[in-house]
Structure 1
């Protein structure tokens, strides 16, 4: 026996559907098609709010002051460089992608190099998924700070069980150590071999030298962290189209697609920077930290070794 298929706009008799439905919620709409799924008809900025949890990652930029952390982020997001220096208290950015039919959200936390509040730094580490550790090749103290950061991240993340990142945790914590200002070769005090030796100590950790001023290896630095984090490489600037935040997938014209590279046509990846984005509240981050600080490898009796915010 067939069944009626109801829709807000029309209804029709379907004699081929003989199986009964247990309730009306199971009955698909007759005018539905895969091309009409809500996600593809939503603006890209809205898709970021509905992205799967495993596709929502936070990249934390850490390092001493005046090493170029903000300049690296500016190059990555806008391909711009400002030679002036303004101390960063904390900047938060968000980029939304649609890659091969899936929505991705990348939050970038550009931290202060002064870190007057150690508890805030620990909170940034606990809530972070990916890490760029930046030093300047002409500053020994900034490299020593990266060494301390590597150890702090490893200690904290080893003790903390991350519920939303299991696919990466088994391969180690994604970290890229960036030796910035490689254009200042005459002032170099850190040999690349020192940084290489540091990254070899930790699993899933890589090293690269870059220059935000000369735009050297900026994209490669981020591509490496995406690769280590098991994220699509199309998140790199040259591998996706830059679109308006309210762009709707499928709205691009064939003419606009002719200039796309073969790799970009295959994935049809696009991305946008979220405007006027605000950092999640400290309370929200504390809730995330609370979920992530449930130890798995450490005995509950050994509470003194737990990763906590103090």
Structure 2
């Protein structure tokens, strides 16, 4: 699979107006990480601002429990039967202290049959949960490789966006990431919690380890709570920190209307009251954004980085480099 044909649409052409990173990219992101164009369950008061839209990517080897963790996170359910995941997309909306947040969850395949799509998920992801099985050393080693690949992909994209053809020193990005050691209920373990924790201790502050079990529902909430902590997101986004709201298929507004606030300063609220005011709902009829939209998101994020260096990222050369990072090697 090659993304060349998919990316030609946004490459700058001869005699064509070059988009501005500070204006056009903001327009792009509204149709990207915001509510899907095909969704019918949005209304004006539940459209999140751009700054509150995030994408969480679930990664890991096959059969380690990625989809089971997502099912626990979204609905507290666990399915005994195993069905290989090609790619699943979910969206959850929150109302937290009067603000709307959107979390898109991309549950990827453990077999990664399309390397280009996998590379694109690295580029468009904001938060990552890398799952491995505590009874399989191979999956732990794969989790470490995935972390390194994510960081390298982010570095290369940033370098291509910033340099404008010049060689610059690569800086290590801080990417919020949780290494989730699933199946901790297994008796025979080939990876110890101490070993996984030691690895995370050698990384930056954006990396943390949580030992969990989707089957026994052990510390599943902690996986996502810690992820939101290292990402500096509201703690109320964790499963047990907000009220779950059920949404009917086709409902115009998935979140209930916000009540009037009687507090001028939100930080004067007690923790108990703050959590009681937070609610979240899984949108029932959301569609996975297209590849074109993902490329727009990728461009927006790299534009925001390149804008600090006088917009050199608008050059056709730098975008061809980013495109090559997504192509199959």
Instruction: Compute the TM-score of the two structures, normalised by the length of structure 1.
Output: 0.74
Is the contact between residue 155 and residue 172 of structure 2 (CA under 8 Å) also seen in structure 1?
Answer: no
Give the structure 2 partner of residue 91 of structure 1.
Answer: 88
Give the structure 2 partner of residue 210 of structure 1.
Answer: 212
* Structure 1 position 128 matched with structure 2 position 128: no
After superposition, the Cα gap between the structure-2 partners of 1:100 and 1:59, relative to the gap in structure 1 and judged at 3 Å, is same
Where do 5+ consecutive residues of structure 1 fail to align? 1-42, 164-168, 253-261
Equivalent pairs, count: 254
Is the contact between residue 64 and residue 113 of structure 1 (CA under 8 Å) also seen in structure 2?
Answer: yes
Further displaced range: 284-293 or 93-102:
284-293
Could you tell me how far apart the structure 2 residues matched to 1:121 and 1:214 are? 30
Give the structure 1 partner of residue 202 of structure 2.
Answer: 201
1:270 to 273, 279, 289: 279
After superposition, the Cα gap between the structure-2 partners of 1:304 and 1:96, relative to the gap in structure 1 and judged at 3 Å, is closer
After superposition, the Cα gap between the structure-2 partners of 1:48 and 1:244, relative to the gap in structure 1 and judged at 3 Å, is farther
Give the structure 1 partner of residue 231 of structure 2.
Answer: 229
Where do 5+ consecutive residues of structure 2 fail to align? 1-39, 162-170, 248-252, 261-269
How far off its partner does 1:81 sit? 0.6
Any idea what SS the aligned residue of 2:184 has?
coil
Q: For 1:98-127, what per-residue CA distance to the aligned partner results, in whole angstroms no more than 9, with x for missing partners?
A: 001100000010000000111110000100
Alignment of 1:72-91 (within 5 A): 72-91=69-88
Give the structure 1 partner of residue 157 of structure 2.
Answer: 160
Larger Rg: 1
After superposition, the Cα gap between the structure-2 partners of 1:151 and 1:250, relative to the gap in structure 1 and judged at 3 Å, is closer
Instruction: Compute the TM-score of the two structures, normalised by the length of structure 2.
Output: 0.70
Is the contact between residue 44 and residue 96 of structure 1 (CA under 8 Å) also seen in structure 2?
Answer: no
After superposition, the Cα gap between the structure-2 partners of 1:97 and 1:153, relative to the gap in structure 1 and judged at 3 Å, is same
After superposition, the Cα gap between the structure-2 partners of 1:47 and 1:98, relative to the gap in structure 1 and judged at 3 Å, is farther
After superposition, the Cα gap between the structure-2 partners of 1:191 and 1:156, relative to the gap in structure 1 and judged at 3 Å, is same
Give the structure 2 partner of residue 283 of structure 1.
Answer: 292
